[in-house]
Amino acid sequence: HAKKTDIDMDDVRLAIQGRVNYSFTSPPDKEFLLELAEERNKHPLPLIPEKYGVRLPPEKYTLTGVNFHIVPEQRAKAGKDSAVEGQTAALSSGIETLSAASSTPS
């Protein structure tokens, strides 16, 4: 702080220079990029397998691939199994009731 009440042109230049130093970076030298390209191009590309059809990446590299695994707790699984069995029994008895009602003449 320069203990000034007014902003002059030197203050603006100083502020712009401070932003330019931290906001923008210069591109790397051409020689450096050529060295990187030479190093990268030393390794040959992998061979393409000779098979027909669409060539897709492995499932783990796709956006639609599953990237997590769910491991349920044993107690929760046992509780769900008994609840499902109870619902299945109630549903089957309801179906038997409906089929018995539809088979009786009205």
Whether residue 98 is predicted with pLDDT greater than 60 in this model: the reply is no
Tokens of 69: 């695994």
Q: What is the reported pLDDT for 74?
A: 74
- pTM equals 0.30
> pLDDT tens across 6-64, in order?
888 988 998 888 887 777 778 889 999 999 999 999 999 988 778 788 888 888 888 88
Cα-based angle 66, 71, 76 (whole degrees, multiple of 5)? 135
More confident residue, 78 or 54: 54
Instruction: Name residues whose C-beta falls within 8 Å of residue 55's C-beta, 6 or more positions apart in sequence.
Output: 48
pLDDT band at 86 (very low <50, low <70, confident <90, very high): low
The SS3 call for residue 25 is coil
